[in-house]
Amino acid sequence: MKAFVVDKYKKKGALRLADVPEPELRDDDVLVRVHATAVNLLDSKLRDGEFKLILPYRPPFVLGHDVAGIVTRVGTKVRRFKVGDEVYARPRDHRVGTFAEFIAMNEADVAPKPKNISMEEAASIPLVGLTAWQALVEVAKLKPGQKVFIQAGSGGVGTFAIQLAKYLGAIVATTTSTKNVDLVRSLGADLVIDYKTQDFEKVLSGYDLVLHSQDAKALEKSLRVLKPGGFLVSISGPPDPDFAKGLGLNLFLQLVTRLLSRGARKKAKSLGVRYAFLFMRAQGQQLSEITALIESGVIRPVVDKVFPFEKTGDALAYVETGRAKGKVVIAVKQ
């Protein structure tokens, strides 16, 4: 099969289109013909080697963390899916590789594709949808009437998280650039801060929750907009000791994460608020619940551009500009 391969860790390194073996099918796997995939900043960070200690992939390897396609084979123990089913997924870590014509995935990571959207739209959902779900529902347990600040509202996670937070009954503030104000308002944002002309710390106060996805400077300011007892969930770091333990990292890496997050945790404690780092995981059941929200019209995908498979490298470069509205998708099978 054709796949885009990372030959070595290198910042902004080129992907190579190659013929690689079809993935091996385990007893509890489904083999999916990839119709569409999507690009995430996680892909470029993995290629650059930023996560080598936590996610040690051995080159050559295939990137790609989102997929929508059709089941072509099933393992002997698979019960939830059959050949011909339309599905979508975020494959689990160490088994990613959707920049390819086929991928084998554990059936627990897979969900039925929403019937009311295209393959390209479906491929835009899994990673960002599960990130928002795990941050807002699972970790923060967001409740109706609570105030949540979602950074970067026009980005992949932001466009999904705004819609999910509104569905959960929250009051939503977000940041975006001038040209995307109407977009985030259309998704349900109650308060929109144009980061080019406004400082969110001077506008926001007394918030219950922050979904943080920016840099360290924004993290420190975000801690100050929380009310006492408030909660900041970060998807951009720094990783904390609970994350390291949950991932089963060795004692040295647990110490590293403790040191990396010490400043953030100390600042949060001094303000009487909580800090947690989230590294989303594959979860087919949660994705099935997201399917129901999409089919009922509660959440709609936001897709900026669709690139053909042979332009996968261009798609990755476009995402790295930081200008994408919503998700950037790759059409693998026309």
Q: Which of 264, 279, 166 is nearest to 224 (CA)?
A: 264
Domain 2-125+302-331 has CATH 3.90.180.10: yes
Could you report the per-residue pLDDT of 17-72, keeping only the tens digit for each? 999 999 999 999 999 999 999 999 999 999 999 998 888 999 999 999 999 999 99
Confidence class for position 86, pLDDT limits 50, 70, 90: very high
User: How open is the CA angle 93-94-95, to the nearest 5 degrees?
Assistant: 90
Quick one: pLDDT at residue 320? 95
In sequence order, the 6+-apart residues with CB closer than 8 A to the CB of 227 are 205, 206, 207, 208, 273
Stretch 153-160: mean pLDDT: 98
CATH assignment of 127-277, among 3.90.245.10, 3.40.50.2300, 3.30.420.40, 3.40.50.720: 3.40.50.720
Residue 149 has pLDDT above 90, yes or no: yes
Could you report the per-residue pLDDT of 235-267, keeping only the tens digit for each? 999 999 999 988 888 999 999 999 999 999 999
- Report the DSSP pairing between strands 303-308 and 327-331: parallel
All CATH 3.40.50.720 domain ranges in the chain, comma separated? 127-277
Question: Considering the chain, what is the average pLDDT of its residues?
Answer: 97
Kindly state the DSSP code that residue 138 receives in the 8-state scheme: I
All CATH 3.90.180.10 domain ranges in the chain, comma separated? 2-125+302-331
Distance CA 41, CA 12 (A): 12
